[in-house]
A and B are shown apart, each in its own frame.
Chain A
Amino acid sequence: MTTADIRYFDLAIGYAMLIVPLAIILWYRIPIFSQTLIAVARMTVQLLFVGLYLQIVFRLNNNWLNAAWVLVMIVVADVSIVRSTDLRIGMVLQPLFFALLAGTTIPLLFFIGIILRRPELFEAQYVIPIGGMILGNCLRADIIGLKTFYGSIRKSEKAYLQMLANGARLSEAIRPFIRDACQAALSPTVASMATIGLVALPGMMTGVILGGAEPTTAIKYQIAIMIAIFCGTAITVILGIRLTLKKSFTAYGSLNHRIFKKTK
């Protein structure tokens, strides 16, 4: 069983399906019409570009090139995370890079080396799609985790300072804020693990089935990727907070407001 290809002409016809949502947008005058057109155009160009690039990467299947591609994906995700938070890029880009690097590569290499038992850890067929799935989820979780942590500590700064005044060490005073941030960041993955298969067929499973594998193989991949994603997001969120602490708190333990783009 092989995957049936889509001809470019047929794909172009596929764009016809856009008529429905665009008509709804126009009919109800939802103010996202031009935004939608730009998003569709961007999606097309970006994916065509990545498709062409990946074609080359897959053909060459060079371990160094594959690892470099994963690294590029991590750098892009890193910049995207910082842009989505209120934090200054120059102060947190580097620590968040290392958090993402650890959060992506640890479960990725465990997946490929221990679960799949592949002789080559950086085989394009595995490292790029699995790495992309883990990284995408780490990105989403890290944004939620950092926003929750820094947002709540900034909002409750008086309560935080009172904890310090009451004799708390830095690690003790930030503990409730870390707990809330981790809960907010990890809950979506926990919820999707609890409902997976019931609500929708998950992405990886669909991909493996379309690739011609048995559904049982697809299920095993899906279970492994869900665990890898959960592991990766947990590592990224906790390291993302921990590694930025040195820049975001003064030596006396108070919040360093220079870490925020807009200071109060």
Chain B
Amino acid sequence: MKQPPAIKIDNLTVRLDGKDVLDRLSLQIETGEKVIFTGPSGCGKTTLFRAILGFIEPDEGDIFIEGTQLTPESVWTVRTKLAYVAQEPDMGTGNVREILEQPMTYRANIGQRKNLSRVPELFDHFSLPRELLNKDMGSLSGGEKQRVALIAAILLDRKIYLLDEPTSALDQAARQTVLEYFQTRNDLTVLCISHATERIDPNQRIIELCSSSKGVDR
């Protein structure tokens, strides 16, 4: 039987403050695809991610994640298939270790608890000093916060990543490490918002959300 697409969006319309931020957007993303969303500010890139996560209820249209339609009933299961890294991550208060451990206390993530043993290895991989684990999250720089948020997402071991400008606060070397991590993972579906055209994969798709916000494949 043919595997359903990782994400399928049918005629999605989202209105915010009376304005159509997304207007009848339709797209399909297959498992393992790497997709970059570009477009000017306010064209609905983040809104699209928020709709996929169920943070915004669409005015029209449907969203399917691995064949499951996003509804108030299914949203709780659907979210356990996604990993989200916000542009300016706010992971809550506490030290970094507590922040990384907290999602593992949720019932849906009990099976991922063993992944916490990967924290030192991931810190090394993303060039973060291990001493940061005992530091307060609020004292971290923007780039450190971004990498901690990425590590938190990786620990959840999801198959679909929604990355909202995940490297905007990183230097060139750190940015390259992040991009290479996703390049080497063919099993992961990655949706990445970027102003600059990041190169995650040689076969990556670039979708420009233009003023009409219907989405144009480039």
**Interface residue ranges, A against B (CB under 8 Å):** 156, 158-159, 161-169, 172, 176, 250-254
Contact = CB atoms under 8 A, between A and B. Distances in A.
Contact of A166 (B75, B88, B90, B156): B156
Contact of B72 (A156, A158, A167, A251): A251
A165 B92 contact: no
Interface residues of B, number: 29
Contacts of B2: none
B108 A169 contact: yes
Contact of A165 (B82, B102, B105, B107): B82
B54 A253 contact: yes
A259 to B, nearest CB: 16
B183 interface: no
Contacts of B84: 162, 165-166
B26 interface: no
Contacts of B39: none
A152 to B, nearest CB: 10
Contacts of A176: 92
Contacts, number: 70
A252 B156 CA distance: 21
A161 B91 contact: no
Given A166-B79, A254-B55, 18 more contacts: A159-B93, A162-B90, A164-B53, A164-B79, A165-B79, A165-B83, A166-B102, A166-B103, A166-B152, A167-B106, A169-B76, A169-B106, A169-B108, A172-B105, A176-B92, A251-B72, A252-B54, A254-B56
Contacts of A254: 54-56
A163 B107 contact: no
Nearest to A167: B108
B91 A162 contact: yes
B109 A162 contact: no
Contacts of B93: 159
A252 B103 contact: no
Contacts of B56: 254
19 contacts: A156-B92, A158-B90, A159-B90, A159-B92, A161-B53, A162-B86, A162-B92, A163-B106, A165-B84, A167-B79, A168-B108, A169-B76, A172-B105, A172-B106, A172-B107, A176-B92, A251-B72, A252-B75, A253-B75
B108 A161 contact: no
B86 A158 contact: yes
A162 B79 contact: no
